[in-house]
Structure 1
């Protein structure tokens, strides 16, 4: 089964330390953004991150790598959603992908005043 990424970007030098490894915070931000896109579509409006569980880094991401973020809703409550999110890296000259990290992000649908609302309202 082919899956489509929530987002895909190329890691740039400004995102890395002096050794060329991408900062973990940059990767976490990218995953939060990808999960946020999925959450906003499901919520049919604004959704905010309230938690992130279980992030562990398995492989480094290097400058020039293509990073793909995949996000799948695994639970929907009245106002919240759990979204399993994975980041994969691929050398720009290869078709081989490696799992870099994964985590579960929890989002809450909110109204224009920042108050929780039912998902999809």
Structure 2
């Protein structure tokens, strides 16, 4: 990394999922529905939560989102996830969404949010997250 790279924004966390929205995922103007984008973010973060909890988990909260720019049909949508905090049974995961339009050369950040998951057992009851040291 050089000094020149410091002014180039880049995603926070690891790429957890990449998907391309199709016509059914968009409104009449060709912009992706917000709900579709939230769904993709939840899937990506739940995948990380499942690896951390080593099993089932459930979404219990999501913080406020602000959409910085619309996502167009055909854009590559990348969800980047990072564990922010871990409790006895809960996990806070930060999710950023970056897109690369079909004709664009540089990715752009679309939105971000924090999702909270709780580890659950096979009966749907809260359980402890396994020790991460092992």
How many Å separate the matches in 2 of 1:4 and 1:107?
18
Work out whether residues 53 and 119 of structure 2, in 8 Å CA contact, stay in contact via their aligned partners in 1: yes
Matching residue of 1:6: 16
Q: Which has the larger radius of gyration?
A: 2
Partner of 2:39: 29
Q: 2:89 aligns with which of 40, 62, 79?
A: 79
Q: Which moved more, 1:87-96 or 1:102-111?
A: 87-96
1:50 equivalent in alignment to 2:65: no
TM-score (norm 1): 0.94
Q: Secondary structure at the match of 1:5?
A: strand
Measure the CA separation in 1 of the matches of 2:102 and 2:48.
Answer: 26
**Whole-Å separation in 2 of the counterparts to 1:85 and 1:120:** 22
In structure 1, the residue corresponding to 2:63 is in which secondary structure? strand
Secondary structure of the 1:6 match is: strand
Following TM superposition, the consecutive aligned residue runs of length 4 or more in structure 1 with deviations greater than 4 angstroms are none
How large is the RMSD of aligned CA atoms in angstroms?
1.5
- Give the TM-score taking structure 2 as reference length: 0.86
Aligned mates of 1:72, 1:4 — CA distance in 2: 7
Deviations 1:75-112 (A, max 9, x none): 00000000000111111343311111100000000000
Between Structure 1 and Structure 2, which shows a larger proportion of strand residues? 1
Tell me whether 63-72 or 88-97 shows the greater mean CA deviation: 88-97
Question: How many pairs are equivalent?
Answer: 121
